[in-house]
Amino acid sequence: MFDLIIIGMGPAGIAASIYAKRSNLKVLCLEKGMIGGELNYIDKIDNYPGLNDISGSALAYKLLEHIDEMKIDYRFETVKDILKKDNYYEIETNKEKYTTKYIILATGRKARKLGLENEDTFLGRGISYCAICDGAFFKNKVVSVVGGGMAALEEALYLANIVKKVYLIHRRDKFNATPSIIEKIINNPKIEILYNEEVVKLNGKDHLESIELKSGKEIFTSGLFIYIGYTPNIDYLKNLDILGSKGYAIVDKNFKTKQDGIYAVGDLVEKNNYQILLAMADGITASLDVTNNLLK
């Protein structure tokens, strides 16, 4: 029986585990992918206090070193289900079953798809949701980026250093990003902005060859990088009534859900700003509340 099991090892989950371990809780972390989560797909972080120029993967590695130094127990397993028992929870993974008094959900979000025909077919054959992962495959080629938020603009700038040209396609006439990054986008000679446009069709045989826009314009492009938002990773929460209409967890000020003993933090919680430090603060707040409850 664990005091606390944390599902997800992005910034929120790792911060929660560090504080739980410092409080001498018996804690276990479960992660189905990479430690650091979405951090591993960020090219450069320049707003993390004290680390003003670091890649996302490098920060993820620093977090891994920290939890290793603290001997925090973590396992690479996929959570299949969470069941409520008498006064504890049972977590079933693809490998084991675990029991715990408290749970912190920190599984974040996944990229939203366009929902177009051939989108899945062309995945890895021209379509990508991660410029850092796949950008090198498009060296000196023409690519397109869909989206108007910070992620889309950051990835467009990253790709501009690798490819011949970037079409930045946005369905509105204004970007939702900081003025400094918008200025960089506008002033980059390799980036052509297409406002008030949407991708409506994907063309190609074995791989993506061109895209069609709602205006009727066809763009011949070797790659399409999609950044149109995210949806919470909630597939394993089918037995828990903790989600709102948009699929995000509903929590109180300490990030408790309405299920006693279960917390949700980080990008599983809808907020105005999704930032690394804010996710960490969520995890810390939840972890401290778990500790306080166990000490009562």
Domain stop point among 211, 226, 241: 226
pTM for this entry? 0.82
Structure tokens at 92: 């079933």
190 DSSP assignment: T
Among all chains, which residue has been given the structure tokens 């120029």?
A: 53
Residue 170 pLDDT level (bands cut at 50, 70, 90): very high
Q: Higher pLDDT residue, 296 or 208? A: 208
Find out whether 16 and 40 touch, Cβ atoms under 8 Å: no
pLDDT at 238 over 80: no
> Can you list the alpha helix ranges (DSSP code H) found in 41-119?
56-69
Domain stop point among 226, 260, 287: 226
Instruction: Please state, in angstroms and rounded to a whole number, the distance separating the CA atoms of residues 209 and 72.
Output: 47
Domain stop point among 226, 257, 284: 226
Which residues constitute the domain of residue 133?
A: 113-226
Supply the pLDDT for residue 133: 83
Instruction: Please state, in angstroms and rounded to a whole number, the distance separating the CA atoms of residues 160 and 140.
Output: 9
Q: Higher pLDDT residue, 158 or 272? A: 158
One domain, residues 117 and 197: yes
Supply the pLDDT for residue 10: 97
What is the domain count for the chain? 2
CB count in 10 Å sphere of residue 222: 19
One domain, residues 174 and 156: yes
Instruction: Please state, in angstroms and rounded to a whole number, the distance separating the CA atoms of residues 140 and 137.
Output: 9
144: nearest Cα among 187, 201, 205:
201
One domain, residues 9 and 149: no
